[in-house]
Amino acid sequence: MQSIYDLIYEFERDYQQTPVKVVDGYEFDQSATLKRICLYQNAQFLDGSKDEFGEKVFFDITTPAVRNAAKNIDLDTKDIQFRAINGKSNYFRSWLYRRQAKVWMRKHKIARKLNSIPEEVTGVGSVVVKRVKGPQVFEFVDLTNTANDASAKCLKDGGVAERHYYTPGELRRIGGESGWDMDAVEQAISDFLVHKQENFVGEQRLKARERGNAHYICVHEYNGYAEKGHVTGNEDDAEMILGSFIVVLPHDVGSKKKGGRSQDPKLGLTLYKTEISDDEWMYKELHFRKVKKRWLGRGLYEECFPMQETENTRSNWMLLAMRLSQIIVFQTRESTVLQNILTDVANGSILKFAKGQGDVLSRLDTQVKDNASNNLMGNQVNRVMQGLTNAYEVTTGGNLPSGTPFSLGQLMNQNANKLFDFIREDFGLFLEEIFNDWVLPELEKSLSEESILEIVDQEELEYIREHYTTWKVWDSIKGAVMSNHKLTRDKVQIIDKFVRSQIEKLESIFLKIPKSFLSFEKRVECVVTDEHESPAMMQTLSTVLQMVSQNPAILDNPAFERILDMAQLSKIDLMPKAAPAAAAPNPAAVPAPAV
């Protein structure tokens, strides 16, 4: 059986050296494409910033289009909504859950991570997030340090190999937090301090001149299909499974000896290995524009490769022409004239030429003559860029042509943003998967213990007390039924009165929420909305207020409560403020309640 080190090495080598054949005559090199995108993001040329004419200037026309697309598909935590699936009492719990969840997401900076996704996916074409332990929930995968099957439909189909670079201290800390084999971790650190090599050398001692000057230990993480024997250690176990491996490759991995094998596999280090199930797959991916027969989505940088190259060429040639137009050059028929009129002629000098020579000293015309062709090419590049990136005036916030009717401008804006709305739908589904599969379980852990809810006013306290009391009463009744298996109506009424009397004694401005109170059936939805939908929301609110004004009793209707929950509202949002008491004391004279 091939060693896990050779498997990972060959997987990464094939990714780097073997392009994907899309059709006859066209091969797609994902590694080279990502490198070019990275250079363009940093306004750098593929062949360097200098040529035979001197320094070149990079005229970045793609990044503004990427940012424009990112702002038009942006989604935030405000668009993430926690909803109860059914049950009248659950509508209140979902309101309470949303309140707790917003605080939790703000505390763990989930919004900042969400803000990084739009620009990354629009520019590169794909973004990959990876599940991590703890309240951080997920982190972004650096595609430039990642190898995968470039022809696969999704990452799981072909596997993923990541390279992580750690200092000895970082490796020791991360290994301890992640449950890696700490003996192997310490061995990797000790070997690195001796040989200063990214890979593991082991018992083989290098000569002094062969020792490296690496600053980091290179740790390879492979998640994908492999033979089960790589996990169990049994070479005869050839069943293909999903596995997760974290290794330090041998120093001479890939160098073949007799028999077609690399050196002793024991010279590599396996820091962690395990079999994983489909549900434990730790990657989720989002693509800007999916193209057949390749994994990497086609982002705006790649879409605009030809136009970016054309604009750089055109503008740099124009700079050269302008530089030439500023040069002062003379011509003459006289061979004995001065070589440089700027240095060889002093102020007040008189130039003398032989008789009969005529106009023997004249200035050459170096002005740029073909501005029309240059401007035509620039306009053509702009038109193509607008079509490729959907960066028209109505989407960028630019001024429309003078005299454009307002209604026509609205229609143009709506149609131009249809493409972004389509992409935002995919983005919304991507966020729903992340929150339902990863964020929600982590959030449940933090809310599994009894939590304290701060009450902001009397109306909110009474509203919460009402629902909390109802839940507590029925929770007590269910407990009595489970213990006695039968319960009379009189006993139910006694339990009801007793529980309510106990709750009525609560006068604190803080309410203790039991851990079981937020355990209800729920789901996360990402509502794809933006500014142009606000009039529809205003109309919905106006309709709701009109219905409540005409029939206040509708607030207790279960169907109406469900409507409010779908609109991210609750009864507390519509209940009128209580009138202040006639003999209310002066607030300044009342001390603040103790917390």
pLDDT at residue 488 in the model: 67
pLDDT bin (cut points 50, 70, 90) of residue 541 is confident
* 259-266 mean pLDDT: 48
pLDDT at residue 562 in the model: 80
Contact 20, 27 (CB under 8 A): yes
**Burial class of residue 525, CB neighbours in 10 A (0-12, 13-18, 19+):** middle
pLDDT bin (cut points 50, 70, 90) of residue 173 is very high
User: Which of 72-81, 163-172, 392-401, 422-431 is most confident?
Assistant: 163-172
Residue 85 has pLDDT above 90, yes or no: no
DSSP 200: B
pLDDT bin (cut points 50, 70, 90) of residue 312 is very high
* 203-211 mean pLDDT: 66
Contact 138, 130 (CB under 8 A): yes
pLDDT bin (cut points 50, 70, 90) of residue 294 is very high
Report the b/e string of 173-190 with b at 16+ CB within 10 A: ebbeeeebbeebbebbbe
Give the range among 178-187, 204-213, 394-403 with minimum mean pLDDT: 394-403
Q: Three-state SS for 442?
A: helix
Residue 440 has pLDDT above 70, yes or no: yes
User: Which of 208-212, 285-289, 552-556 is most confident?
Assistant: 285-289
pLDDT at residue 243 in the model: 95
Token pair 């699936």: residue: 85
pLDDT at residue 5 in the model: 93
Token pair 């593929």: residue: 46
Contact 6, 272 (CB under 8 A): no
Q: Is the dihedral of CA 381, 384, 386, 388 positive or negative?
A: negative
Q: What is the dihedral of CA 410, 411, 414, 416, to 10 degrees?
A: -110
Token pair 């990464």: residue: 12
Contact 121, 127 (CB under 8 A): yes
Token pair 């697309």: residue: 69
Q: Which amino acid is at 147?
A: A
- Quote the Cα angle for 426-427-430, to 5°: 90
Joined tokens for residue 29 = 């090199």
Joined tokens for residue 341 = 């009129």
Contacts of 436 by beta carbon, 8 Å cutoff, 6+ apart:
523, 524
pLDDT digits (tens, 9 = 90+) for 5-16: 999 999 999 999
pLDDT at residue 493 in the model: 72
Contact 274, 231 (CB under 8 A): yes
Report the b/e string of 56-83 with b at 16+ CB within 10 A: bebbbbbbebbbbbbbbbbbebebbbbb
C-alpha 110/C-alpha 550 separation (Å) is: 41
By C-alpha distance, which of 89, 138, 66, 182 is closest to 468? 89
Longest dimension (CA), the chain: 135
pLDDT at residue 240 in the model: 92
Residue 63 has pLDDT above 90, yes or no: yes
C-alpha 431/C-alpha 258 separation (Å) is: 51
Give the range among 78-82, 261-265, 393-397 with minimum mean pLDDT: 261-265
pLDDT at residue 146 in the model: 96
Identify any residues that bridge with 522 across adjacent strands, giving them in sequence order: 84
pLDDT at residue 2 in the model: 85
pLDDT at residue 592 in the model: 35
pLDDT digits (tens, 9 = 90+) for 236-259: 888 999 999 999 999 878 765 444
Contact 246, 272 (CB under 8 A): yes
Token pair 């027969």: residue: 293
- Quote the Cα angle for 138-274-279, to 5°: 50
pLDDT at residue 261 in the model: 43
Instruction: Work out the mean pLDDT of the chain and round it to a whole number.
Output: 78
User: Which of 260-274, 375-389, 486-500, 564-578 is most confident?
Assistant: 375-389
pLDDT bin (cut points 50, 70, 90) of residue 589 is very low
* 436-445 mean pLDDT: 82
pLDDT at residue 513 in the model: 59
> What is the full DSSP assignment across 112-168?
HHHHHHHHHHHHHSEEEEEE-SSTT-EEE--GGGEEE-TT-SSHHHH-EEEEEEE-H
Joined tokens for residue 458 = 């009397």
> What is the full DSSP assignment across 56-95?
------SHHHHHHHHHHH---GGGEEEEE-S-HHHHHHHH
* 34-63 mean pLDDT: 91
Residue 531 has pLDDT above 50, yes or no: no
Contact 364, 370 (CB under 8 A): no
| Beta strand spans in 9-65 (E) | 20-23, 26-28, 50-51, 54-55
C-alpha 118/C-alpha 131 separation (Å) is: 19
Q: Which residue has the higher pLDDT, 80 or 433?
A: 433
C-alpha 471/C-alpha 500 separation (Å) is: 11
User: Which of 155-164, 371-380, 465-474, 573-582 is most confident?
Assistant: 155-164
By C-alpha distance, which of 120, 28, 55, 192 is closest to 427? 120
Give the range among 280-289, 354-363, 450-459, 544-553 with minimum mean pLDDT: 450-459
Calculate what percentage of the chain has a pLDDT beyond 70: 69
By C-alpha distance, which of 391, 385, 381, 398 is closest to 67? 391
Q: Is the dihedral of CA 442, 444, 447, 448 positive or negative?
A: negative
Residue 287 has pLDDT above 80, yes or no: yes
pLDDT at residue 260 in the model: 40
> What is the full DSSP assignment across 370-418?
-HHHHHHHHHHHHHHHHHHHT--HHHHTPPPPTT--HHHHHHHHHHHTH
* 349-367 mean pLDDT: 65
Three-state secondary structure string covering 274-288 = EECCHHHCCEEEEEC
